[in-house]
Structures are given as C-alpha cells and as structure tokens.
Structure 1
Amino acid sequence: MNEFKELTKAEEQIMHELWEMGGGFVKDVIERLPEPKPAYNTVSTIVRILETKGFVTHISFGKSHQYRPKITKEEYKKVITGKLLTNYFDNSPKRMLSFFLEEKQMDIKELDDILALLNKHK
C-alpha cells in the first residue's frame, strides 16, 4: 500500500476525523469539524474523492453511506514520513533530526526522550 496519493489539507482533516471515529456518515464528520463548518456537499465530495483515492470505503444504508477508513493512520504516517525523509532529507534520519533541532522544534525533554529510546534499542 505504498502507492497512496498524498492528501490535500482538506482531505487530511476529513481522514483524521474518520480515523478518530473509526468511520461515520458525512453528517458525523461535519459535527466534529471546527467552525465555520463546511457545507454538507463539500464534505460529501471530499469523502467521495477519498474513496476514489483508496483511503475510504463505504457501506450503503438506503440512500446514505457510512464511510470507513480503508487504511490506518499508521500506514499513512509511514508513507508520508518516508516521502518526507526521501524528498527533503536525502533518506537520512540524522539530517531530519538535525533539521528539527536547528529549527528549535524540539525541546530538551523531547531530546532526552529520543536519547532514552536510542539507548533502549541499542
């Protein structure tokens, strides 16, 4: 399943809600979105695009559909992280970590946690 297309910001927002809920109807997704809420047709269109891209599937209940994630958040995270590592850090985790440190996107506590993880996996 490494051939996913990347999600747009709107698609990703919808997927996060579906992952969190484990699935739901369009109205359920809309209820969880922040204000200002998008129109029903907008969310419905995005969900159908997600289905076309292979991210969700549906079960029909008459004229309505319940949508469920077809891939897990973890699966998508691996693909996106792999693309980030390959496309921006020359496949070097060291360069990626260095970037986050230099950009001050990690604090000392997080760095200590990473060091503890590294020591655990030695």
Structure 2
Amino acid sequence: MRAPQPAQRLNHSTPRQSTNILVREILDTINEDRVPPLVYTTVLTFLQIMTDKGLVLRDTQGKTHVYRAAVAAEKTQRHLVKDVLERVFSGSVNQLVMHALGSRKISADEVREIKAMLNESDHTPPIAKPLPPAQGHFNPVEPAGSTGPQD
C-alpha cells in the first residue's frame, strides 16, 4: 500500500491526530490526475469555504496557509453519503448501493465485509413479496390466451 497523499492525510485526519498540510501539497495531489489542472487560488478558495463551514482549521504562518481537519473523516463521509443519497438517489439506498457496486469491480474481501454487514443489519426475516408478472408470460390470474396488459 502506498503512503497517503497530502489530500488523503487531510481527509483521514481527526481533530486530535490532525496532520498539517499546505495548500500547495493539496494542489499538487489534485493535479496529478487532473486535466486541466486547478490553480492555487481555486484550492485556496475551497479551503476557505471549508474553514467557514468548520470542516478544516487554518493556521496562517506569514503568507503560508496551513490546514488540518476539524472534523473526523467518518463524520464527514456520513454527511456526504447522506447528502448524495437524498440529492442524487431520491433517498433510495438500493439505487445508491447498486450504483456503487456497479461502478467498479470489488474484491472478495469487500464482498465478505458487505455480506457480514447485511447479515448484522438483518434483524427480522424479510417478508416475501410476490413479483409482478412479466409481460408476455403466462399469468395464472389472467384468462388463458392473455399476454398481459395491452398498450
């Protein structure tokens, strides 16, 4: 596993074990895989907004801006996931999970962790719901010869 990059150090810090990081370090990390690259003032503006929201703490040493996380990464991640769930997936956990699982290949370890988490959260047996009949297939409720709803 490679060493954490500057932006990851800021993201995974907690207020008690916070890592100080320079704007330039964050900018360089972001720009490693970004075309077109961001400019220093853009990253600085985002960090100033994050400071105003209480997400990061700033220490100004002369002209140098040094930042560190003000909120634990787990709390920030929970907040962001909740926000994405509501804004992007209209509150549908199912759609969020299906999209996340379909976006990349997951390892066998991740599959085991997900299964364990699902088993832990499954306190009551699921109530079986009948599936709606597929169009064009035999449905014992409809009269013989019917192929389902007609358009």
* TM category, shorter: 0.5 to 0.7
Residue 82 (structure 1) aligns with: 82
- Write out per-residue CA displacement over residues 22-49 of structure 1, whole angstroms, 9 at most, x where no aligned residue: 3311112122222554222222222212
| TM-score (normalised: structure 2) | 0.50
The structure carrying a bigger helix percent of its residues is 1
CA distance in 2, matches of 1:108, 1:45: 37
* Identity percentage of aligned residues: 22
Report the CA distance between 1:57 and its aligned residue.
Answer: 1.3
2:23 corresponding residue in structure 1: 26
**Within-5 A mapping of 1:1-122:** 16=8, 18-19=10-11, 22-33=19-30, 34=32, 35-36=34-35, 37-86=37-86, 88=89, 90=91, 93=93, 96-97=96-97, 99-100=98-99, 104-105=102-103, 109=108, 110-119=110-119
CA displacement at 1:94 relative to structure 2: 5.1
Deviation at 1:76, TM superposition (A): 1.2
Distance in 2 separating the partners of 1:60 and 1:100:
41
Gaps of 5+ in 2: 1-5, 14-18, 124-151
Q: Which residue in 2 is equivalent to 1:7?
A: none
C-alpha spacing 1:27/1:120, structure 2 compared with 1 (3 Å)? same
Secondary structure of 1:71's match? coil
Normalization by structure 1: what TM-score?
Answer: 0.59
Deviation of 1:66 after TM superposition, in Å, equals 0.7
Aligned length: 106
Distance 1:93 1:70, change over 3 A: same
User: For the aligned residues, what is the CA RMSD?
Assistant: 3.5
The structure with the largest alpha-carbon Rg is 2
